Amino acid sequence: MQKNYIESFLGFCIVILTLCLLWVFFQKNDVKANRDLLSVTAYFQTVAGISKGTDVKLGGVKVGRVLDIKLDVESLTPVLVIGLDKVYKIPADSSFAVKSEGIMGGKFVSVEVGPGQDPIAEGQIFYNNQSSLDLESVVSQVVFGGEKKK
């Protein structure tokens, strides 16, 4: 009879531990419905290192996330669909930049705030954005030197 109590207690502990881990997962990944987000489109030259769900930050504070990554068929340029939290009234003349969290860190999208007062509108399109720096090509140019002129 003692064995049944121990097995029941261990089973109860495993269920509680699983629920705690799920709660931590959802808190860490900030799982929300997309209805709280303002969807905008941004064109870049390259979006290397960015994926769906990548953070969008303003001054180091998360203000949204990347909802989708596409390739514009006509111009053959990468397009990010960005979801910004509606709570923040970011000026419409702002721009976006792909930045690195450090030498070994991941990439994120940074909001470069403009001087205007009018807030971003749903579906707004941003063309003048700063793409990420390709660190591999910079390092290879330093290590192997630039192209030799003939």
Residues 6+ apart with CB under 8 A from 149: none
Q: Is the pLDDT of residue 2 over 70?
A: no
Domain extents for the chain?
Answer: 1-31, 34-141
DSSP for residue 119: B
Q: Rounded to the nearest 5°, which phi and psi values hold at 61?
A: -105, 130
Q: What's residue 15's pLDDT?
A: 94
Q: Is the pLDDT of residue 19 over 90?
A: yes
Question: pLDDT per residue over 39-96, tens digit each?
Answer: 999 999 888 888 998 999 999 899 999 999 999 999 999 999 999 998 888 999 999 9
Environment class of residue 40 by beta-carbon count within 10 Å: exposed (0-12), middle (13-18) or buried (19+)?
buried
Q: Are 120 and 82 spatial neighbours (Cβ–Cβ below 8 Å)?
A: no
Residues 6+ apart with CB under 8 A from 75: 43
Instruction: Give 24's pLDDT tier (boundaries 50, 70, 90).
Output: confident
CA trace torsion 109, 119, 40, 126 (10° rounding): -70
pTM above 0.85, yes or no: no
